[in-house]
Chains A and B, each alone.
Chain A
Amino acid sequence: MITTGFVSADSRVLSVALAGNPNAGKSTIFNALTGARQHVGNWPGKTVEKKTGELFLDGRRLNITDLPGTYSLSAYTLEEIVARDFLLEERPDVVVAVVDATNLERNLYLVVQLLELGLPTLLVLNMMDVAGEQGLDIDTVELSLSLGVPIVPTVASREQGIDDVIAGACRAATEPANPCLPEYLPQVEREIARLQNIINEHDAIRDVYSPRWLALRLLEGDSDVAERVGSLPGGSSLLAEAIERGAVLAAELEEDVDLTIADQRYRWIHALVGRVVRARPAHSLSRSDRIDRFVTDRRFGIPIFLLAMWIVFKFTTDLSAPWVDWLDAVLTGPVSRWAVAVLGAVGMGGTWVESLVVDGVIAGVGGVLAFIPVLAALYFALAILEDSGYMARGAFVMDRMMNRIGLHGRSFLPLMVGFGCSVPAIYATRTLTNNRDRILTGLLVPFMSCGARLPVYVLFAAIFLPRSSSLVILGLYLLGVIVAILVGLTLQRTILPATAAPGLVMELPPYRLPNWRGIRNNVWLRTRSFLQHAASLILVTSMAIWLLMAIPTGGQGSFADTPMADSAFGRLSTALTPVLRPLGFGSWQSGGALISGLVAKEVVISTMAQTYGTEATEDVGQPTTFFGDLLEIASSFIQAVIDTLKAIPGMIGINLGSAEESGEPELSAAIRSSFETTSGGHAAAAGLAFMVFVLLYTPCMATIAAERHEFGRRWAILSLVGQLIIAWVGAFIVFRLGVALGG
């Protein structure tokens, strides 16, 4: 029932903030409220995901913001800062506090802090069905009276009570907040009253903060709030007084003030929960505990985790591969043909425009689209891991090992995904909750050798070290890991110091069945967000390379029809050779391959084929009809579906199918003789150095675009430059060692 009688003309837009503990079902409620009308992005300048959405109701618009899940409103984690800043600065019309009904005591701690903030609040008791199953009988009327806030019980996973949440939020927004708050010890209350009096004298402060909340925070020694208040008129005198009174109080209590206040808050909540909840569960092993006995076991924990990671890895690579191939086939086949036909019809066939459209635009769009199946598959797997509660277990199991190299247990997953593709791996760092850990992991991800680099190793190992090629390839993978560890340790000692005494403190939520609707939403929104943010950079880079290859710089070529050696691209590659000479592969062909490798590692070999002039003439193909093209798209689509289904049983097993032949004898010979010349007779050493360079330098522009999207421009540039330097040094060492050892 939605009542709209109280709507005044100026309150047709209502700002609603969703707050709550992690795993309280906040996102499920958010999805149920907003449906597909959501925007996912990052909070300005932060690496915390920001979700907003709208809801229209009787001509009224509700702007809903999903705040990051937090356990309190103190400003010790990035999530808490983001959530608190939003509440303090945006002052939403109503705060919807989502609470896990099966865990009232811990959840109410945040609620009490929200109430102290003085904003109109609606309490949503979620997961009432699970509470019922556990034999919890919650007296919601008594709870509502005791806290002085309206309460709505819900089962968000089944969308029960969502209409009541909307109605309750609208009503709460119009009524002044009048919560019942915990009384602290008399000494504390005395000091609160004293500071409140001072605050009330300063309009500039009183207008922004709830006096009681501010007095409490200042006594608790909250430096973030102190900084904000200090800049307001009258703030400095208030701060001085607060520091003095805080010291007096601490001496009187013989304990830190913040400790006392937290303790009192919890005592008050404990008593309240004792009054309103009957038949509290026996202190016995729950179903989750029994699963955890096995899953977090000393012996089984790590094997189970590695198996889970293996499945995720295979899922993102194998299931998406047929779709990547399908998109590629459609774009290079029918779509390119149509473009050529259309351009031909308007009299531009065979001109540079055709080349721009086919080799620049369509190829660039293909480069972007190729990531969609991979990212969608990854987001799907991640959402299941997160929703089911396993992700936290994985972090628990891996924590000790990852700690040795200064990383968090949750860092393992993104690094693992990095063996498939660096782009989804960068986005997978979202499972890390700490900003510093996220950036550190994100910077290490590119050193995990991605799938696109493998063909380069395969070709070069076959050319230069044919007898030990498998060993060489394995060595390269391990080298990437070792370099990542070294870089990680270096970063921790320099620009990303460990936050003081980390020590894991992490909740393991109970195991739950994933919510399919939420997962679907998640996959769609995050994939869309990638398209919006990373696509432009990938497209621009692809076009820039095309342009470089198109511009003639002498010789007899014309625009877009020039031999590669005479193009601007050739010139640029030639300019690079002095830098590459100490590495043993100072030819313009190698330089060109590495430049185009910046766009995508997939094209390193094809660029070499072009520059060495050994490219096989492409099939022009029979002229086809429009209808025939559509048929081809459809049949290849069906083939992709079949291939995906075929990939499922192979996901857990290891299919040792026949190795694809990398036989391009002409190209191999050309590379060999070229490297022989540039390295002064140490071709094998130069070949190895080239592989090391490909391993260590920037995987591709898409990765840089993802880093910029996730961590900001500064870190993306650092990653780009840092990796080029590391790659050069690594290749140099390898080449010199190889020469010294007589390779």
Chain B
Amino acid sequence: MTSFLWPILVIFFSLIAGAAALAGLRSGTRRSAPKDERAAELLAAGLLPLVDCPRDRDACLKCLHVDRCVVHRLLEMGLTPGTPVRVVQDAGGPMLVSVRGSRVALGRDLAARMWVELPATDSRDPQS
């Protein structure tokens, strides 16, 4: 009987994989911060949302423009304003961020509301 199961599940999984690939192609490149007054202010101040932060660059977390209940989660994970952060993976879904020696995954919408400052652009190698 169980031999029936395998082709079915294989097809089922290919469907999932296909859907995932499509979803990835469609929204993987979405990079934008919510457009409101505060965001414009922060952009003008030279900050940029974490989603737009390039990978492997040292940055400094400046401002959490998120819901109060989420703020607590972020604070207890060590994401306090003024902390150095670094994006280590951006695969189109959540962002993977290095902070205070640990790796924290942050939902994309959340990362669009967290503002960072890149150090003044000098010719420093980002890998160093």
Q: Bound state CA distance, A317 and B6, in angstroms?
A: 12
Residue A293 CB within 8 A of the other chain: yes
* Contact string against A for B residues 14-26, beta-carbon threshold 8 Å, 1 for contact and 0 otherwise: 0011011101100
Residue A473 CB within 8 A of the other chain: yes
Whether the pair B92, A658 counts as a contact (CB closer than 8 A) is no
Whether the pair B1, A455 counts as a contact (CB closer than 8 A) is yes
Residue B45 CB within 8 A of the other chain: no
Question: In the complex, what residues of A have CB within 8 A of residue B81's CB?
Answer: 259, 263
Residue B120 CB within 8 A of the other chain: no
Q: Bound state CA distance, A686 and B10, in angstroms?
A: 29
Binds B, one of A166-174, A394-402, A668-676: A394-402
Question: In the complex, what residues of A have CB within 8 A of residue B72's CB?
Answer: 72, 74, 76, 258
Whether the pair A473, B8 counts as a contact (CB closer than 8 A) is yes
Whether the pair B104, A506 counts as a contact (CB closer than 8 A) is yes
Q: Bound state CA distance, A182 and B89, in angstroms?
A: 34
Q: Bound state CA distance, A659 and B9, in angstroms?
A: 16
Whether the pair A501, B70 counts as a contact (CB closer than 8 A) is yes
Size band of the interface chain B makes with A: 35 or more
Question: In the complex, what residues of A have CB within 8 A of residue B82's CB?
Answer: 263
Q: Bound state CA distance, A567 and B74, in angstroms?
A: 63
Residue A213 CB within 8 A of the other chain: no
A residues contacting the other copy or chain, number (CB 8 A)? 75
> What is the CB-to-nearest-CB distance from B7 to chain A, in angstroms, rounded to a whole number?
7
Given A454-B5, A501-B69, A659-B3 in contact, is the A477-B12 Cβ separation under 8 Å?
A: yes
Question: In the complex, what residues of A have CB within 8 A of residue B16's CB?
Answer: 306, 401
Question: In the complex, what residues of A have CB within 8 A of residue B117's CB?
Answer: none
Whether the pair B107, A502 counts as a contact (CB closer than 8 A) is yes
Given A105-B100, A262-B75, A506-B104 in contact, is the A301-B91 Cβ separation under 8 Å?
A: yes
Whether the pair B103, A292 counts as a contact (CB closer than 8 A) is yes
Q: Bound state CA distance, A313 and B82, in angstroms?
A: 45
Contact of A506 among B12, B24, B105, B109 (CB under 8 A): B105
Contact of A259 among B24, B73, B75, B101 (CB under 8 A): B75
Whether the pair A654, B6 counts as a contact (CB closer than 8 A) is yes
- Of chain B, the residue at the smallest CB distance from A71 is B76
Residue A733 CB within 8 A of the other chain: no
Residue A503 CB within 8 A of the other chain: yes
Whether the pair B17, A654 counts as a contact (CB closer than 8 A) is no
Contact of A392 among B10, B27, B28, B105 (CB under 8 A): B105
Q: Bound state CA distance, A74 and B71, in angstroms?
A: 12
Question: In the complex, what residues of A have CB within 8 A of residue B76's CB?
Answer: 71-72, 74, 109-110, 262
Given A501-B66, A501-B69, A662-B1 in contact, is the A470-B78 Cβ separation under 8 Å?
A: no
Residue A616 CB within 8 A of the other chain: no
Contact of B3 among A306, A400, A506, A660 (CB under 8 A): A660
- Of chain B, the residue at the smallest CB distance from A23 is B102
Residue A228 CB within 8 A of the other chain: no
Residue B96 CB within 8 A of the other chain: yes
Residue A562 CB within 8 A of the other chain: no
Question: In the complex, what residues of A have CB within 8 A of residue B91's CB?
Answer: 296-298, 301, 397
Question: In the complex, what residues of A have CB within 8 A of residue B54's CB?
Answer: none
> What is the CB-to-nearest-CB distance from B44 to chain A, in angstroms, rounded to a whole number?
20
> Which residues of chain A from 407 to 434 have any CB-CB distance to chain B below 8 Å in the complex?
419
Q: Bound state CA distance, A458 and B5, in angstroms?
A: 10
Question: In the complex, what residues of A have CB within 8 A of residue B39's CB?
Answer: none
* Contact string against A for B residues 49-87, beta-carbon threshold 8 Å, 1 for contact and 0 otherwise: 000000000100000001111111111111011110010
Q: Which of B6, B82, B89, B98 has the most CB of A within 10 A?
A: B89
Residue A310 CB within 8 A of the other chain: yes
Contact of B1 among A293, A296, A303, A660 (CB under 8 A): A660
Contact of B12 among A478, A503, A658 (CB under 8 A): A478
Contact of A507 among B4, B89, B102 (CB under 8 A): B102
Whether the pair A396, B6 counts as a contact (CB closer than 8 A) is no
> Which residues of chain A from 288 to 323 have any CB-CB distance to chain B below 8 Å in the complex?
288-289, 292-293, 296-298, 301-303, 306, 310, 313, 317
Given A302-B21, A504-B94 in contact, is the A656-B7 Cβ separation under 8 Å?
A: yes
Whether the pair B4, A106 counts as a contact (CB closer than 8 A) is no
Whether the pair A106, B12 counts as a contact (CB closer than 8 A) is no
Given A106-B78, A259-B71, A262-B75 in contact, is the A400-B2 Cβ separation under 8 Å?
A: no
Whether the pair B23, A102 counts as a contact (CB closer than 8 A) is no
Residue A617 CB within 8 A of the other chain: no
Whether the pair A500, B69 counts as a contact (CB closer than 8 A) is yes
Contact of B93 among A105, A259, A400, A509 (CB under 8 A): A400
> What is the CB-to-nearest-CB distance from B82 to chain A, in angstroms, rounded to a whole number?
7
Whether the pair B67, A500 counts as a contact (CB closer than 8 A) is yes
> What is the CB-to-nearest-CB distance from B18 to chain A, in angstroms, rounded to a whole number?
10
Q: Bound state CA distance, A71 and B76, in angstroms?
A: 6
- Of chain B, the residue at the smallest CB distance from A658 is B3
Question: In the complex, what residues of B have CB within 8 A of residue A556's CB?
Answer: none
> What is the CB-to-nearest-CB distance from A263 to chain B, in angstroms, rounded to a whole number?
5
Whether the pair A401, B20 counts as a contact (CB closer than 8 A) is yes
Contact of B103 among A74, A105, A288, A470 (CB under 8 A): A288
Whether the pair A298, B24 counts as a contact (CB closer than 8 A) is yes
Whether the pair B4, A473 counts as a contact (CB closer than 8 A) is yes
- Of chain B, the residue at the smallest CB distance from A70 is B76
* Contact string against B for A residues 676-704, beta-carbon threshold 8 Å, 1 for contact and 0 otherwise: 00000000000000000000000000000
> What is the CB-to-nearest-CB distance from B103 to chain A, in angstroms, rounded to a whole number?
4
Whether the pair A657, B94 counts as a contact (CB closer than 8 A) is no
Question: In the complex, what residues of A have CB within 8 A of residue B96's CB?
Answer: 292, 296, 396, 508
Residue A741 CB within 8 A of the other chain: no
> What is the CB-to-nearest-CB distance from A253 to chain B, in angstroms, rounded to a whole number?
13
Whether the pair A302, B102 counts as a contact (CB closer than 8 A) is no
Given A289-B88, A292-B89 in contact, is the A458-B1 Cβ separation under 8 Å?
A: yes
Residue A474 CB within 8 A of the other chain: yes
Nearest 9 CB-CB pairings of A with B: A503-B110, A504-B107, A72-B76, A400-B93, A503-B107, A262-B75, A298-B91, A71-B76, A508-B103
A-B contact pairs, 27 of them (CB 8 A): A72-B75, A72-B76, A106-B77, A106-B101, A110-B76, A256-B71, A263-B81, A297-B91, A298-B24, A302-B21, A310-B13, A392-B105, A395-B105, A401-B23, A451-B2, A451-B5, A454-B1, A454-B2, A470-B8, A474-B8, A501-B67, A503-B106, A504-B94, A504-B107, A508-B103, A658-B3, A659-B3
Q: Which residues on A are within 8 Å of B, measured CB to CB? A: 71-72, 74, 76, 102-106, 109-110, 256, 258-259, 262-263, 266, 281, 283-285, 288-289, 292-293, 296-298, 301-303, 306, 310, 313, 317, 392, 395-397, 399-401, 403-404, 419, 451, 454-455, 458, 470, 473-474, 477-478, 481, 499-510, 654-660, 662
Beyond contacts A105-B101, A263-B80, A508-B105: 7 other A-B pairs, Cβ-Cβ < 8 A, are: A302-B17, A395-B105, A501-B67, A505-B77, A656-B6, A658-B3, A659-B3
Q: Which residues on B are within 8 Å of A, measured CB to CB? A: 1-13, 16-17, 19-21, 23-24, 27-28, 58, 66-78, 80-83, 86, 88-89, 91-94, 96, 98, 100-110, 127
